[in-house]
Structures are given as C-alpha cells and as structure tokens.
Amino acid sequence: MPRILVVDDQPDIRLMCRVNLQLEGYEVLEAGDGEVGLEMVRTEHPDLVLLDVMMPGLDGWQFMEAIKADANTAQIPIVLLTARVQREDEIRGWLSGAADYLPKPFNPSTLTEVVRRTLLHQGEDDRRQRALDKLSII
C-alpha cells in the first residue's frame, strides 16, 4: 500500500486528504508544518508527498529544495497543493521539480486522480531506471 505524506498547515486540508486517500487504500501520514514534514520524509520514506506551498517557517519551496538536494529523497514525487494560482507560481513549481501542481480548492476526485497518476508515472520511471541499471552491468 503506497504511503502518502500530506504536509499542510491547515488541519481541514489534511483531514480531507487523509479521508479521501484512505478510502482509496493509501496509508496517509500527516505533518502540520515543513520542519516536521521534512523529518518525516527522512524517517518514514513516503512514496509521494502532497505539499502546501504557503506555510509558516519552512515553506513549500524550501521544503522541496531540501528534498531534491538529498540523494536519499530526491526521487520522491512531490505534488504541490496551493492557493497560489498565478502562472509564474506554477512554472516555479515545475522548475523546482514538482511532479504535479494542484490548485486549492480542489475536489476529492481530482486529488485521488492526481495521486494515482503520479504514483503510476513514478513506478514507470523506477522500472525504466532498473532496466538501464541492468544494461550498464552487461
């Protein structure tokens, strides 16, 4: 069962994500701020992170920078959850390495579809990398 970490300072967003993702069979972990979320990524090794951009303290951009800079966590896909819907914010998300960008407010079916699609793509990337690794051994 894939493990999803939801990092958002809004309890209602975390609750909505948790309930809907658990209904789809995912294991859901939660963090109310970026610092706790960063520690959980390092200790819990989630399969995907749903990340709020605007949080006090360590914001989503700083969180993503730290995750992508660490070889142990750089491959974990991150889906940005944000009320920032300006085109430049979306571009910044893609350039920072986000797997997807989900503007708030979002409906539960969109959330679960984005998670499913992102995990599917990650699995394909992992299989492709394993095949390349085998070829380099030969």
- Lowest-pLDDT range, 9-23, 83-97, 107-121, 122-136? 122-136
Q: Between residues 121 and 85, which one has the greater pLDDT?
A: 121
56-90 pLDDT per residue, tens? 999 999 999 999 999 999 999 999 998 877 788 78
Q: Characterize 33-72 residue by residue with b for buried, 16 or more Cβ atoms within 10 angstroms of its Cβ, and e for exposed.
A: bbeebbebbeeeebbbbbbbbbbeebbbbebbebbbeeee
State the pLDDT at residue 65. 95
pLDDT exceeds 70 at position 40: yes
pLDDT exceeds 60 at position 2: yes
Mean pLDDT, all residues of the chain:
89
pLDDT exceeds 70 at position 134: no
φ and ψ at residue 87, rounded to 5 degrees: -55, -40
Complete edge-to-edge strand list for the sheet that includes strand 27-31: 27-31, 3-7, 48-52, 78-82, 100-103
For the chain, domains (ranges, CATH) are 3-137 (3.40.50.2300)
